[in-house]
Structure 1
Amino acid sequence: MTHTISALVKNSPGVLHRMAAEFDKYLINIKSISAGETENPNISRMVIRAEASSEEIEKITEDMTGMDFVIQIDDMERKEFVDRELVLIKVARNKDNITQLMQIFEVFRAGVVGMGQLTITVELSGDRERVEGLIQMLEPFGIKGMCRTGMIALKRGDEQDRP
């Protein structure tokens, strides 16, 4: 099962490495990991997506809670959070397919950020399903390059994220 873990941590060197090492300890592959400062420059939020059993995630989050740099950690259920991912996709273009590509970009509200003689590059921000949908639509045209940020997420609702 895919789990989304949100962790508020002290913004200091080595934190990302130590958090990732915890997954290595349990031989769990991280599907995506994103980290960045919050509204407080001394605190970072890490969002980690991993495929593991609930028991494994419970053990990992319990271990992480005991780390001196961890402020708060949550294993969030899909309905509990809003998520986004950014993707840049470079796709093959020619005079015969440019109109079709532009229609696809419009449907997905993807923005053109670069154009060469043989390729066109677009960006899209959205949830994982929307990003995956655009990728599937562009595959038949020939994806020449792609870069994804990984998921970022915040809990839904009005409550404050940290204690």
Structure 2
Amino acid sequence: MLHTLSALVRNRPGVLADMALAFKTQDLNITSIACGETENPEVSRMVLCLEAEDGQVDAITKAIADMDFIIQMDDLARKEFVDRELLLVKVAMEPESVSRLMQVLEVFRASVVGMGETSITAEMTGDRERVDGLIRLLKPFGIKSLCRTGMIALKRGDE
């Protein structure tokens, strides 16, 4: 099962390494990680995605909760949340397929941010399913290069 963990952490050196080590110790693979400062420059929000069973997530959450840099930890899979990911993708551009390629980008509300003689670079934000969908439709055109930010997420509502 896919889990999304959101942690408010003290913004100091070594936090990311310590967090990764905790996951390694529990033999869990992080499939996506994004971290950045919050409205308070002394605090960062770290969003981690992983495929794991509920028991494994409970174990890692307990192990991490005791670390001195953790301020708050939430398993967002158990709450309503909004998530986004940024995709940058460079796609081969053949004269006969430009129109079709542009239609695909338009359907996904992707923006063209660069164009060469044989390729086009686009950006798009959306949830994981939308990003995966665009990638799937761009593969037949020939993806030359791709970069994803990893998921960022916040709980919905006033919490």
Q: Which residue of 1 aligns with 2:14?
A: 14
C-alpha separation in 2, matches of 1:146 and 1:41: 30
C-alpha separation in 1, matches of 2:66 and 2:31: 23
Deviation at 1:158, TM superposition (A): 1.3
Computed over aligned residues only, the root mean square deviation of the Cα atoms, in angstroms, reads 0.9
Task: Read off the aligned partner of 1:15 and give its amino acid letter.
Answer: V
C-alpha separation in 1, matches of 2:38 and 2:153: 12
Q: TM-score, normalised by structure 2?
A: 0.98
- Which secondary structure does the structure 1 equivalent of 2:154 belong to? strand
Percent same amino acid among aligned pairs?
61
Give unmatched runs, 5+ long, in structure 2: none
Q: Which residue of 2 aligns with 1:97?
A: 97
Deviation at 1:78, TM superposition (A): 6.6
Q: 1:79 and 1:135, CA in 2 relative to 1: closer, same or farther beyond 3 A? A: farther
- Which secondary structure does the structure 1 equivalent of 2:13 belong to? coil
Q: Structure 1 residue runs of 4+, over 4 Å off?
A: none
- Which secondary structure does the structure 1 equivalent of 2:84 belong to? strand
C-alpha separation in 2, matches of 1:129 and 1:56: 24
Task: Read off the aligned partner of 1:77 and give its amino acid letter.
Answer: A
Task: Read off the aligned partner of 2:125 and give its amino acid letter.
Answer: S
C-alpha separation in 2, matches of 1:134 and 1:78: 27
User: Do the aligned residues in 1 keep the contact of 2:79 with 2:155 (CA within 8 Å)?
Assistant: no
Aligned pair count reads 159
